[in-house]
Amino acid sequence: MGDASLRDAEQLAEKVVSDFGLTLPVDVVELARNHDILVEAKPSIAAGVSGMLIRHVNDFAIGYATHVRNEGFQRFSIAHELGHFFLPGHPEHIFSEGRTLHESRAGFASGDPIELQADHFAAGLLMPSSLFAKEAGKYSDGLGAIEKLAEVCKTSLTASAIRYAEVTDAAIAVVVSSRSSVDYSFLSPAMLKIKGLTYLKKGAVLPRDSLTRDFNQTADNIGSTRRVDGETDLQSWFRSDGEFDAWEEVVGLGMYGKTLTVITAEVPGDNENEDGGRGWDEPKFSYRR
């Protein structure tokens, strides 16, 4: 399952938003109820499980975890399960061999292609590119914009940062890390266009002289959601054919035990679209109704 299938999942979610006239913040519980899907909190869900989709004949229900007391995380978990409901082939796959319950681990951390596709559906549903890019155009590039977008969309800071990297015209990188290593990273299209740039892979060691690596050495920085920022250069983080000045913004993610880093590079020749974001193609997909 490649990038095209993940983008297809996002576009299908955006079609749902368009078809039902949804606005920010998208009411995922109401959307589920409009499709006769019961939504309930499930505090006893196993550790690491974000939510579950339950099927009884042709009836569906969603249970979402409450061990993470974060509205954005819970909304993303519900949206993820809606992805399993709407995406073609998902119900048949997850409920094969007579299974009636599917547990998910949402949040872009899973390597399972089915879960990744549902994650991208959730991002497209909660942060549809047309509405998200229009909102993003109101703010300056960087962590401040991401925080505003998370507030408007009622999404987690991490999910908002990842979506921001997808729609912004700025050259940015979003890095989630723990201790001295990278958990995962996302690069904006403008960042990916930098000649010779290498992608930060899972498990890569954080740059020794980075603010992020120093920040992660003190657990209280993460637990107290402390933030720091300062100058850096792209070569410290990525190999590339040129040298570019950049700004590194770091914030602890509290109970998640991880750190979010946003790197904004100064790349000559950046051009912004008139609407302040990426163009949005009308998706041409069908889904469960």
pLDDT at position 289 is 56
Q: Which two three-digit tokens encode residue 115? A: 């879960």
Same domain? 78 vs 174 = no
Give a yes or no: residue 159 inside a domain. no
pLDDT at position 95 is 97
Same domain? 23 vs 71 = yes
Q: 48 lies in which domain range?
A: 3-129
Same domain? 180 vs 103 = no
Same domain? 88 vs 196 = no
Same domain? 7 vs 125 = yes
Residues facing 171 on adjacent strands: 265
Residues facing 186 on adjacent strands: 174
What does the pLDDT profile of the chain (289 residues) look like in tens digits? 568 899 999 999 999 999 999 999 999 999 999 999 999 998 766 667 899 999 999 999 999 998 878 899 899 999 999 999 999 999 999 999 999 999 998 777 677 899 999 999 999 999 999 999 999 999 999 999 999 999 999 999 999 999 999 899 999 999 999 999 999 999 999 999 999 998 899 999 999 999 999 999 999 999 999 999 999 999 999 988 888 999 999 999 998 899 999 999 998 865 444 444 444 344 444 566 5
* Continuous H helices in 20-70: 28-34
User: In which order are the strands placed within the sheet that holds 59-64?
Assistant: 37-41, 59-64, 51-56, 101-104
Same domain? 195 vs 101 = no
pLDDT at position 256 is 86
User: Which has the closest alpha carbon to 56: 38, 43, 74, 79?
Assistant: 38
Give a yes or no: residue 72 inside a domain. yes
Q: What is the pTM of this model?
A: 0.85
Q: Are 125 and 26 in contact (CB under 8 A)?
A: yes
Counting the structural domains of the chain, the total is 2
Q: What is the CATH number of the domain that holds 52?
A: 1.10.10.2910
| CA distance linking residue 54 with residue 63, whole number of Å | 8
